[in-house]
Amino acid sequence: MIFCDYGIVLRSRPLRENDRIVTVFTRENGKLEIAFKSVRLAKGKLRALSEPVSRGDYRVFMKSGSSLPVCTGGQTLSVFPRIRLSADLLFAAFYFCEVVNKITPLHQPSPEKYDLLLGALEHLENGQYGAFASGGRVEPGVNGLAFLSGERVPRYADTTDLNTWMRRAFTLRALETAGFGFRHTSAGLDSRLWDTLHAGTWSEVRALEAEPQALDCLDNLLKRFFSEQLDQQLKTLEFVR
């Protein structure tokens, strides 16, 4: 059976010498573990489609009796080049992908969760987070790299306005789509703050002021939930604010 679907790469890991097993969260077929043949070779044609934090239109072949589908082709739709120019934004994107991966079983479609992840990544990609070191505009580059005015740019000069509430709001919304939501739970936070975290636009979330006590309260709630209810630890948590 061959099928096509839009997907976002959550993670990848080596398989044998030249292959990869890639966790792709697709819009219509849910989370899939897909084999990518020969993508670890320099000439691997599907390499961009197998990179974490990339979005593509995937063509997948499922052999009868096999539990591991194989990617046979597709089209890269976005590698989120602006995100890849900033360590802060890239770690935030990795965090979003890990949260979705941890709370999503295989083969259970959730278009709502897919749209949430895509919307958050697009906001990181298109939001005005800091300024470039040299000014100018981003040009598409080779193999997912981005260039600025003809020069390779390693990162943003400043990303201090990457709001501390965004990753927490994303986590709450992802849990909501998975049926673990806290929206109607009294967490001891201001009701307007709570509503914005769950239903506000990403711009409204970014406009929220940091409140250390509220941040600590929510962090403890989420940490306890992942540890006690899901028996999971978020490895990317130590790299994000």
* Predicted pLDDT at 45: 86
Strand 55-61 vs strand 146-148: parallel, antiparallel, or unpaired? Answer: unpaired
* Predicted pLDDT at 40: 85
Per CATH, which fold does 2-78 belong to? OB fold (Dihydrolipoamide Acetyltransferase, E2P) (2.40.50)
Q: What angle do CA 166, 225, 202 make, to 5 degrees?
A: 15
Segments of the chain with pLDDT less than 50: 130-160
Q: Determine whether 40 is exposed, middle or buried from the number of CB atoms within 10 Å of its CB (0-12, 13-18, 19+).
A: middle
- Give the residue from 22, 45, 52, 46 showing the smallest Cα distance to 35: 22
* Predicted pLDDT at 16: 84
* Predicted pLDDT at 63: 86
Q: How far apart are CA 199 and CA 234, in angstroms?
A: 24
* Predicted pLDDT at 188: 82
* Predicted pLDDT at 162: 65
* Predicted pLDDT at 184: 87
Q: How many CA atoms lie within 13 A of 37 on its CB side?
A: 8
* Predicted pLDDT at 200: 95
Contacts (Cβ under 8 Å, ≥6 apart) of 5: 26, 27, 28, 29, 57, 58, 60
Task: Give the residue extent of every domain in the chain.
Answer: 2-78, 83-239
| Residue 96 near residue 172, CB atoms below 8 Å | no
* Predicted pLDDT at 156: 40
Q: Is 133 helix (H, G, I), strand (E, B) or coil?
A: coil
Token pair for 152 = 């390779």
The reported pTM is 0.85
Contacts (Cβ under 8 Å, ≥6 apart) of 104: 25, 30, 31, 110, 113, 178
